Amino acid sequence: MMATSVERMSDMLQGSPLKLGRQDDPQCPRFQAPGQAGIAGGRPLRLNGAMPRPDTESDLPQKHLALPDLAGTAGLARKLAETARAGDCFALWGDLGAGKTEFARAFLRAAGVTEDVPSPTFAIVQPYDTGIGPIAHFDLYRIESAADLDEVGFDMALDDGIVLVEWPGHAGDRLPGDRLDIQFTLGPAGDRAAALTGRGSWRARLAGLNL
Structural domains of the chain, with CATH: 61-207 (3.40.50.300)
Amino acid at 62: Q
Q: What is the pLDDT of residue 83?
A: 95
Mean pLDDT by 10 residues, the chain (211 residues): 47 45 38 35 46 56 91 96 96 94 96 91 92 96 88 92 96 94 91 95 93 87
- What pLDDT does 57 receive? 56
pLDDT of residue 15: 42
- pTM given for the model: 0.77
Q: Would you state the pLDDT for residue 2?
A: 34
Q: What pLDDT score does 131 carry?
A: 92
pLDDT, position 12: 46
Output the pLDDT for position 11.
Answer: 53
Q: How many CA atoms lie within 13 A of 11 on its CB side?
A: 6
Q: For residues 201 and 181, what is the distance between their CA atoms, to the nearest angstrom?
A: 12
pLDDT of residue 58: 56
CA distance 170 to 168: 5
